[in-house]
Amino acid sequence: MRKAFQKILAFHWVTTFLLMGVFSFLGALASVNIFVMLEANVRFLSVHGAMAVMEGALTQLGQLLASGLFALAMYLGFKACERVLVEKILEK
């Protein structure tokens, strides 16, 4: 999988740039969603306590953590694209 990802990134600078934009957009979207939902989840847990746990607030918290890992993966993809593009720019 690593080799396939490297081939995609090294294919052409335009595809790398477009992929970088996709990673950036998805990462930003996931990050905004995490902050909004996490605030609501913590408020729900603090106001309703055990009832919130029975209603699935802990499950939602787990989903938010998974969404955070997704946002991190998108950031890493963005940084990989950035590195490839910078290396191509600096080539002689």
56 conformational bin, left if phi > 0, alpha if psi -120 to 50, beta if neither: left
Report the 3 state secondary structure along the chain: CHHHHHHHHHHCHHHHHHHHHHHHHHHHHHHHHHHHHHHHHHHHHHHHCHHHHHCCHHHHHHHHHHHHHHHHHHHHHHHHHHHHHHHHHHCC
Domain parsing of the chain, residue ranges = 2-90
Predicted TM-score (pTM) of this structure: 0.74
7-63, pLDDT tens digit by residue?
A: 777 778 888 888 899 999 999 888 887 888 888 888 888 888 888 888 888 888 888
Tokens found for residue 18: 């477009």
For the segment 66-77, the average pLDDT, to the nearest whole number, is 92
Identify the band that residue 92 occupies on the pLDDT scale cut at 50, 70 and 90: low
